[in-house]
Amino acid sequence: MTANRLARLDSIRALGVLLVVAYHTSYRFEPPQLDLIGRVLRVIGWMGVDLFFALSGFLIGMILAMEKNRRDIALFFRKRFFRIVPIFVVAVITFGVGDWLLVDGQNLANIWKPFLFLTGYMTPFQGEALVPYTITWSLSVEVSAYILLGLLAWKSWDRFKQVLILVVLLSLPLRIWLSLGLGWEDHMIGLFPPARFDAIALGALAALGTFDRLLKIKRAALIYGAATIAIIILFRFATWYPPFIGTVGYLIFGLAAALWVGALARVDGPSGWFVAATASVGLVSYFMYLFHLFFIQALMIVDAQFALELGFWSAFLIASALTYVAGLISWHWFEKPLNAYASKPREPSLVP
């Protein structure tokens, strides 16, 4: 994939992480009632994570399509490990240190749950009070998907696409059962990895050509991008009608996001200055996702200490900027060198 195409996908990452930062900022620095945009972000900002799922699924599908034998799959797992785990461990340790300093370590007894990527599995059963650092739920989804899809590609590539389709088809009845049968709230359904694998599967299917007919229409990237943004906005009102989002809504948005990602990956030509600027945010979006709450919390302490009376937009912009700068430092001095180390093949590939 060309650098321009990767930049466009990183721009979607930027949108996703900024939605998440805005969402969490709005609950610490509440937007006034007259701030319509801020109030909407307070309701739908969480959907930025679903953009990550579509992107992750697409990239998994694209990579695994090229890496089908044992040696290449081993390299896939190696690269995923070094991309995800080291900075994640730093983030969990940072959370633990902050918890010890600010609340006398009230959550340290349960910190092993996010540390083992179990947040999404345990929160629906134990509640958020017993599962700290809750935003790591999305890593439960992605890490599980990487492991399952990587093993599936290695053991049974010929059936890979069919299994992805089966995952999508089974996810909807699973969510309906969790909602109507067990009485789970939409929010808890959204955290539970088995109920969210379809979002990643749809992205992978887009990479494997399943939606080629839909992606060949004129201005596909513009159409599906507009549809994705429109769904994000319309879901502001869908929250009034549970369990729509927790059942059908995730599927609708997952499909739209997968089509948008797939369409953008096909666009040729220069990407322009705006894409280049936002792509730099997307480049460090993983760091920003893991660490933005720490910066928001620090802003709250400073705001209270000095009576700054920061508003939502001020806090959002400051937190985003600080996390972005820290992310660039982490990328250049920590994450990028690890990625380069992980990408060195230990044995020659059997795939030409």
Asked whether residue 352 is assigned to any structural domain, the reply reads: no
Asked whether residue 150 is assigned to any structural domain, the reply reads: yes
Asked whether residue 249 is assigned to any structural domain, the reply reads: yes
Residue 65, pLDDT above cutoff 90 = no
How many Cα atoms occupy the beta-carbon half-sphere of 113 within 13 Å?
Answer: 23
Whole-structure pTM value: 0.94
Residues 244-301 have pLDDT tens digits of: 999 999 999 999 999 999 999 999 877 788 898 899 999 999 999 999 999 999 999 9
Asked whether residue 350 is assigned to any structural domain, the reply reads: no
Amino acid identity, residue 226? A
Confidence band (pLDDT; 50, 70, 90) for 74?
Answer: confident
Amino acid identity, residue 64? L
Q: Is 163 exposed, middle or buried (0-12, 13-18, 19+ CB in 10 A)?
A: middle
Q: How far apart are CA 210 and CA 232, in angstroms?
A: 24
Residues 223-260 have pLDDT tens digits of: 999 999 999 999 988 877 889 999 999 999 999 999 99
State residue 95 phi and psi, 5-degree precision: -60, -45
Confidence band (pLDDT; 50, 70, 90) for 349?
Answer: very low
Print the domain residue range for 46: 3-342
**Alpha carbon of 273 to those of 4, 24, 260, 278: distances in Å?**
11, 28, 20, 9
Asked whether residue 85 is assigned to any structural domain, the reply reads: yes
- Least confident span in 22-36, 58-72, 173-187, 306-320: 58-72
Asked whether residue 12 is assigned to any structural domain, the reply reads: yes
Q: What percent of the chain has pLDDT over 70?
A: 95
- Compute the average pLDDT of residues 122-151: 96
Q: How far apart are CA 85 and CA 128, in angstroms?
A: 23
Residue 330, pLDDT above cutoff 50 = yes
Core vs surface per residue 292-311: b (16+ CB within 10 A) or e: bbbbbeebbeebeeeeeebe
The domain tally of the chain equals 1
Asked whether residue 83 is assigned to any structural domain, the reply reads: yes
Asked whether residue 59 is assigned to any structural domain, the reply reads: yes
